[in-house]
């Protein structure tokens, strides 16, 4: 009976080990699958997109983000967050995203799903001796674009945001922590400069601005990428992305302020269907 009881006590630990190894295997399988897909698509052939037909681009991508700005939650003092270039790897958290686009020669409809789990030390000051900020951000953007020039698209869209933020602070008198979850919608205006769809060398500069008090007071974004199309099906690009959000709501205990710029390098794997 004693031996059986001891074995039962070990079951949670054994289950935890199995779960961790399973997660590691899934992550390894994901990263191993990327070069395999590259080899397969390099040998694939496809027809160049025609002007009036709908074509599709699917781009899973990775972002390595860090934050700077300020935030305030409830009655906690506002905290400053700052990461310079030397901090990016020591404070690394992974962001996973998926972009999709349906397009013709004149029109494009796109969707962008973004999830980031960020953690950053706060800047100390007179009131704050030590602390950290953690933010889990989910954003879903849908937009429509119209080609005005061979290299210029403009359009409108909307971005649904859901943000869970928490702060752990050590002040002059005590240790304090708070967290909150907020959801809101931001209309956006978009401009995009890019290469023609049949070129091998890829470049793109995309900017948007929005919020206008509907959700955030102001939100803006800049994305810049260069890449190469290895085949009519497969392409790879890399670049940099900056997302700015200035959102504030409520007073006293219900107060939430999030004035943060999130930025970092991005790698994109594109599949043209």
| Of residues 138 and 47, more confidently modeled | 138
Domain segments of the chain as ranges = 1-43, 50-272
Q: Would the pTM of this model clear 0.85, i.e. be above it?
A: no
* Residue 248 and residue 217 in contact, taking contact as beta carbons nearer than 8 Å: yes
Helices in the chain by DSSP H: which ranges?
A: 2-42
Count of other CB atoms within 10 angstroms of residue 244? 18
DSSP state of 124: P
Residue 201: its pLDDT value, please? Answer: 96
| Residue range 215-260, pLDDT digits in tens | 999 999 999 999 999 999 999 999 999 999 999 998 877 888 899 9
Structure confidence at residue 125 as a pLDDT band (50, 70, 90): low
In terms of Cβ atoms closer than 10 Å to its own Cβ (0-12, 13-18, 19+), residue 173 is exposed
**Strand ranges, E, within 85-217:** 95-103, 107-123, 128-149, 152-171, 175-194, 201-210
Q: pLDDT value at position 160?
A: 97
Residue 77 phi, psi dihedral angles, 5° rounding: -65, 150
List Cα–Cα distances, 143 to 83, 90, 99, 155, 158, in angstroms. Answer: 31, 35, 11, 7, 6
* pLDDT of the residue at 85: 55
What's the confidence (pLDDT) of residue 64?
84
- Contacts (Cβ under 8 Å, ≥6 apart) of 132: 119, 120, 121, 122, 167, 168
**Confidence at residue 177, expressed as pLDDT on a 0 to 100 scale:** 73
Q: Regarding the domain delimited by 50-272, which CATH topology (the fold level of the hierarchy) does it fall under?
A: Lipocalin (2.40.128)
Helix or strand or coil: residue 51? coil
pLDDT band at 18 (very low <50, low <70, confident <90, very high): very low
- What mean pLDDT is predicted for residues 171-184? 78
């Amino acid at each position: 009976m004693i031996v059986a009881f001891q074995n039962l006590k070990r079951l949670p630990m054994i289950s935890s080990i199995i779960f961790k190894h399973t997660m590691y295997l899934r992550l390894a399988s994901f990263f191993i699958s990327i070069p395999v897909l590259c080899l397969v698509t390099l040998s694939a052939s496809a027809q160049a997109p025609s002007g009036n037909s709908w074509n599709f681009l699917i781009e899973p991508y990775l972002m390595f983000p860090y934050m700077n700005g300020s935030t305030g939650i409830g009655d906690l003092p506002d905290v400053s967050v700052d990461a310079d270039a030397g901090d990016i790897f020591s404070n690394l958290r992974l962001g996973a995203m998926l972009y999709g686009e349906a397009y013709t020669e004149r029109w494009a409809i796109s969707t962008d799903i973004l999830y980031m789990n960020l953690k950053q030390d706060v800047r100390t000051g007179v009131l704050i001796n030590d602390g950290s900020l953690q933010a889990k951000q989910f954003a879903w953007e849908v937009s429509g674009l119209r080609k005005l020039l061979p290299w210029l698209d403009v359009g409108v869209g909307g971005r649904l945001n859901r943000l869970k933020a928490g702060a752990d602070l050590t002040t002059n008198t005590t240790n304090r922590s708070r967290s909150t979850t907020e959801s809101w919608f931001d209309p956006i205006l978009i401009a995009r400069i890019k290469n023609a769809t049949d070129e091998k060398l890829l470049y793109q500069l995309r900017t948007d601005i929005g919020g206008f008090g509907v959700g955030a007071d102001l939100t803006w974004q800049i994305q810049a990428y260069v890449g190469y199309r290895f085949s009519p099906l497969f392409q790879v690009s890399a670049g940099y992305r900056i997302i700015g959000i200035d959102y504030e709501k409520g007073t006293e205990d219900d107060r939430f302020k999030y004035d943060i710029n999130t930025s970092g390098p991005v790698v994109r794997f594109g599949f043209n269907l």
